[in-house]
Structure 1
Amino acid sequence: MNRRRITVRAGVLAVVALLAASCGSPGKPVDPAPVGDAGWPQPAHVGGPDASAGGGSDTSCNPLASLAPDKGISIPDGSTMARIKKSGKLIAGVDQTTYLFGFRNPTSGNLEGFDIDLVNEIARQIFGAPEGHVQFRAITSGQRADVLKKQQVDIVVRTYSITCARKKDVQFSSVYYVAGQRLLVTKESKATKLADLSGKKVCAAKMSTSAAKIATDPAKLVAITVDNWSDCLVMLQQGQVDAISTDDTILAGMAAQDPTLQVVGDRFSQENYGIGVPKENTDMVKFVNAVLENIRNSGAWQNSYRRWVEPSLGPASPPQPQYQ
């Protein structure tokens, strides 16, 4: 046998040995890491009960009495409205997560809803048209008072319930909408009132009058508080809470987005929405009230309500204003 044949034979035997090794036993498999139940991730800043939120128990004033508007809608020199007009922008604190009242249209990217219509009408009375003259600032419920006290916005239009405690820090317009607290649950739930949820988790937004009611109700609910109502909706859909409790206006928007949910029970509170204004700007309060008078009397309130709210909550009329 010559040297070449020996070399070829050795190469073939090496390949066969390699293939045999690759087909051998792989040995004992390694156990994978144990897998337990994986819970749903929670929204940021989830908290517990807040009994002081909203200050609804303060009865030291008539919360609904606002400053009477001047005759007509005018913008005097040196007024807050004149400053806003000169700046070219009305800065409005609003919601972008509450369907029907203040939400971002996923198709157009624009903010829409009943509250947004009010902002646009106020801008129209200052500039002649709202287009290009409104700077929307999306804020949480808990930020409403802060942005007004720091004068970071000109107005807040964000389902803002008027209370005496809140009026110590900010000014309010006359009431532009009356809502009431109810419950949102899954259609499989048998709960129709807070008493049915004793020991159960109920969600509300931080610094809201709804959160205060949940925290202090004798049913001894497990209060869960979050930054935005949309966080409550996600937690209910994922089974992290048993119900959401807040104004029927907000709940109606959630139910409209998810047919597996329903608004139940009677109203167990009255929530009077007003437009928030920095404490110092009394002229702006009077101006906003004049605009609201025009909105009520011109049919603009009714048109906006029919578009956004009536399909979910039925017919309604604008509340009559009270003035000091």
Structure 2
Amino acid sequence: MRIRVLLFVALLIAGCGADPAAVPVGVPSVTVLPSGVTFAPPVPKSATRPCNPRESLRPMGSAVTAGSTMARIRERGRLVLGIGSSAYLLSHRDPYDGKVKGFEAEIAREVAAAIFNGDREKIQFRALNAAERIPAVRGVDDKGNAVESVDMVMAAMTMTCERWEQVAFSTEYYSAGQKVLVNKKSGINSTADLAGKKVCASATSTNIKTIAELPARPTPVAAANTSDCLVLLQQGQIDAVSTGDVILAGLAAQDEATQILPERFTDEPTGIAMSLNAPDLVRFVNGVLENLRTSGRWQQLHDEYLTEYIVDAKPPVPQYKAE
């Protein structure tokens, strides 16, 4: 049974044994940006420090050695994973059995199994808003105040050179691209039809800037989470939602009155975020991802969760830094 986000959204995920609870939704907090808004360009990279956001550290063996980040996680007894607060098909809590399910959740369980000698369930899932994810990996907010940290964040995060300055990433586990979700009866068939329309994305995502720069110059609307955008679309307050196709697949699955337009206008490599101070964990995770690709497990998970909305997807070819 498909569950509309108006009924179940932003389920609080405090840990593996937490009980699911439906959170009533009113009008999400949003910011409507002026039409044609421009953004400051990113800080230019030094010519001596070229950046390919897809490149990560080469994988290491599967052994958990003494003193490693993985050993500390094992001693703690659980992998602490930050996930999207309501990412249907990626990592959502099933309201019937309370289990976190989805494409990303299952990849995370493979990492847990590699750390805990085959035990896939030693994970504490922590739901994070988009703005909370990088601080949770770093353990501090943008003001330097300590925050509760996580070992990794897996929430359809786009790998960018700017984000690499703050966190490390695994190799790419999904090749996403920005698309647009609309109501089927909206009359919107392409981005050219978005002139004068309100288009929503997460406030801290890379997508909000892209919306503002589309040739049709729609009005970007910033919400705390993409799931809030779906609520706004259902309430008739906006005209479209735009983010990575892998996230839109989860929104479309929750509301059969919507559809994803075929036009894809960005290239968004998606990786698992980890601390810059834990290169051993990055290498370990990259080894797990390599096994998923070569064993066919990645394709099995995609076919189970995403293929209805994203056809013919294949596991990305990993790219590694020169060392």
After TM superposition, the score normalised by the length of structure 2 is 0.82
CA change 1:111–1:286 in 2 (3 A) is same
Aligned to 2:259: 262
Please report how far the alpha carbon of residue 220 of structure 1 lies from its aligned counterpart in structure 2 after TM superposition: 2.2
**1: CA distance between counterparts of 2:112 and 2:302?**
19
Question: Does structure 1 conserve the Cα–Cα contact (< 8 Å) formed by 2:109 and 2:121?
Answer: no
Name the structure 1 match of 2:227.
230
Find the counterpart in structure 2 of residue 117 from structure 1: 106
State the shift of 1:73 in Å: 1.1
Q: Which residue of structure 1 lines up, in the alignment, with residue 194 of structure 2?
A: 197
1:74 is displaced (CA, Å) by 1.6
Specify whether residues 113 and 58 from structure 1 end up closer, same or farther in structure 2 by C-alpha distance, changes over 3 A only.
Answer: farther
* 1:82 is the counterpart of 2:67: no
Q: Alpha carbons of 1:56 and 1:69: their partners in 2 closer, same or farther (altered >3 Å)? A: farther
1:68 maps to 2:58: yes
2: CA distance, partners of 1:111 / 1:210:
26
SS in 2 for 1:160: strand
Distance across 2 between alignment mates of 1:53 and 1:139: 26
Match of 2:156 in 1: 159
Shift of residue 54, structure 1, vs aligned partner: 11
- Once residues 265 and 245 of structure 2 are traced to their aligned partners in structure 1, the CA distance between those partners, rounded to angstroms, is 10
Q: Which of 210, 218, 242 is the aligned partner of 1:221?
A: 218
SS of equivalent to 1:94: strand
Alpha-carbon contact 2:212-2:220 (below 8 Å) kept: yes
Contact in 1 for aligned 2:91/2:105 (Cα 8 Å):
yes
CA shift at 1:103, angstroms?
A: 1.2
Residue 275 in 1 paired to residue 272 in 2? yes
User: What per-residue deviation string (whole Å, max 9, x for no partner) do you get for residues 144-189 of structure 1?
Assistant: 1111111700011110110000000000000011011111111112
Amino acid at match of 1:236: L
Do the aligned residues in 2 keep the contact of 1:85 with 1:126 (CA within 8 Å)? yes
The answer to whether 1:178 aligns with 2:175 is: yes
- For the 8 Å contact 2:85–2:129, the answer to whether it is kept is no
* SS, match of residue 108 in structure 2: helix
CA positional deviation for 1:230: 1.3
- Secondary structure of the structure 2 residue equivalent to 1:301: helix
1:104 shift after superposition = 1.4
Q: Secondary structure at the match of 1:203?
A: strand
Counterpart in the other structure of 2:243? 246
Q: Percent identity?
A: 42
| Amino acid in structure 2 at the alignment position of 1:276 | A
Of the candidates 91, 98, 122, which is equivalent to residue 133 of structure 1?
Answer: 122
Question: Could you tell me how far 1:128 is from its partner in structure 2?
Answer: 2.0
Cα gap change, 1:227 to 1:129, in 2 (>3 Å): farther
Higher mean Cα deviation, 231-240 or 208-217?
Answer: 208-217
C-alpha displacement of 1:88: 0.5
* Count of residue correspondences: 283
Mapping 1:309-320, distance limit 5 Å: 309-320=306-317
2:30 to 35, 46, 51: 46
Letter in 2 for 1:148: V
What amino acid is aligned across from residue 231 of structure 1 in structure 2? D
> SS at 1:68's partner residue?
coil
Residue 302 of structure 1, CA deviation: 1.1
Unaligned residue ranges in structure 1 (runs of 5+): 1-39
Per-residue displacement from partner, 1:76-114 (whole Å, max 9, x unpaired)?
111101110111010000124121112111111111100
Q: Does the 8 Å CA contact 1:58/1:163 hold for their aligned counterparts?
A: no
> In the alignment, is the contact (CA less than 8 A) between 2:179 and 2:242 conserved in 1?
yes
Q: Tell me if the contact between 1:93 and 1:158 (Cα under 8 Å) persists in the aligned partners.
A: yes
Query: What is the RMSD computed on CA atoms of the aligned residues?
Result: 2.2
Over 3 Å counting, the alpha-carbon distance change for 1:109 and 1:58 in structure 2 is farther
> What is the alpha-carbon distance in structure 2 between the residues aligned to residue 55 and residue 276 of structure 1?
20
